[in-house]
Amino acid sequence: MGEGTPAVVMDSGFPASSLSWTFVQPAVARFTHACSYDRAGLGWSDAGPMPRSSRQIVEELRALLLNAGVEGPFVLVGHSFGTFTVRLFASTYPSDVVGMVLVDPIHPSEWLEMTEAGARKLAGAIRFSRYGALLARLGVARLISALVRLGATGLALSSVSLLMGGTMAEAD
For residue range 7-33, list pLDDT tens digits in order.
Answer: 999 999 877 777 788 889 989 999 999
Structural domains counted in the chain: 2
| 103 and 53 in a common domain | yes
Domain that holds residue 121: 114-172
87 and 122 in one domain?
no
Domain boundary among 69, 93, 113: 113
Same domain, 49 and 122: no
Residues 42 and 79 in one domain: yes
In the listed set 73, 89, 113, which residue is the last one of a domain according to the structure?
Answer: 113
Residue 81's pLDDT band, with cuts at 50, 70 and 90, is: confident
Task: Give the three-state DSSP class for 111.
Answer: helix
Are residue 86 and residue 119 in the same domain, yes or no?
no
∠ CA 109-125-89, rounded to 5°: 50
Res 112: pLDDT = 63
Domain boundary among 113, 139, 159: 113
Q: Phi/psi of residue 3, each to 5°?
A: -140, 155
Indicate the residue type of 51: P
> Band of the pLDDT at 129, cuts 50, 70, 90?
low
Residues 72 and 20 in one domain: yes
Residues 121 and 139 in one domain: yes
